[in-house]
Amino acid sequence: MLLGIIGAMHEEVIELKEVMELIETSEIGGYQFFKGTLLNKEIVLVECGIGKVNAAICSTLLIQEFSVDKVLFTGVAGGLNPDINIGDIVISTDLIEHDFDCTAFGYEQGVIPRMENSKFKADLELIDLAKKVATENFGENRVFVGRILSGDMFVASNEKINWLRETFIGECTEMEGASVAHVCQILNKPFVVIRSISDKANHDANMNFDEFVKLAAQNSKIIIEGMLNAL
Ligand code: SAH
């Protein structure tokens, strides 16, 4: 089995890259794909860049060019649920593109017209495995399994948090997960998104982000490694 692993930023992939045994690096359209093994599992690792389009391109390439069997997304996010703190873990059940807005035609926010489904569901086995590994490492109280919201927007205000919580009941918000999920639904590949909380999406979010991104990325990496061991 070949696993595709995606992170948006350097901070989110560097540690996995440092510990993997690299066999081959390929470059497509400026994205670098690192093929090799990690904990004796075959992986392709890619830093996709920030935002939904970058993440969609890299997910598509992982599936079509590298023939990965499953996709894991690792990274950081802003917490929306007030019970979630910096350093906690969110594992995706389903994901929504929260900035998709065709409400002018009567669609609900986040609904993509002419698509059967705009709430992209992660794979149940991968969710269970991520939850088990995360709970073993961080304890039950710090692990949340629920909806993740993605949009091309760094959320840093209480108004936006309230709107996102009320509209979608999301646990956390970020900028890539739902587009990875969208691609995986279309191309029929199992996936899960694992996010560690770097900030609380409020007016301190940018400062917290800079301070905690490394810690949060390390947490996500611990879960990916635990999952690889079990897969
Ligand atoms: N400081 C960075 C920009 C980070 S954008 C730079 O200058 O390059 C934020 C990244 O972290 C995105 O990849 C997104 O998925 C995630 N993220 C963390 N907190 C977020 C928040 N509050 N809102 C949206 N995305 C967030």
Distance CA(118)–CA(104), nearest Å, equals 17
Ligand 1 proximity of 173 Cβ (cutoff 6 Å): yes
Distance CA(63)–CA(68), nearest Å, equals 5
* Burial class for 112, CB neighbours closer than 10 Å (0-12, 13-18, 19+): middle
Ligand 1: which residue has its CA nearest to atom 5? 154
- pLDDT of the residue at 220: 85
- pLDDT of the residue at 144: 98
Could you tell me which residues come within 8 angstroms of residue 69 by beta carbon, excluding any fewer than 6 positions away? 1, 2, 3, 189, 190
Helix (H, G, I), strand (E, B) or coil at 169: coil
Ligand 1: which residue has its CA nearest to atom 7? 210
**CATH pick for 2-230 out of 3.40.50.1580, 3.10.20.30, 3.30.540.10, 2.60.40.10:** 3.40.50.1580
Q: What is the mean pLDDT of the chain?
A: 97
Which residue among 171, 199, 210, 225 is the active-site one? 199
Atom of ligand 1 lying closest to residue 155 CA: 23
pLDDT in tens, 15-27: 899 999 999 999 9
Q: Cα(174) to centroid of ligand 1, in Å?
A: 6
Distance CA(218)–CA(14), nearest Å, equals 10
Is 199 in the active site? yes
- pLDDT of the residue at 181: 98
Residue 221 reports pLDDT greater than 90: no
* Pocket residue to mutate for ligand 1, from 6, 9, 211, most atoms within 8 A of Cβ: 9
Mean pLDDT of 184-207: 96
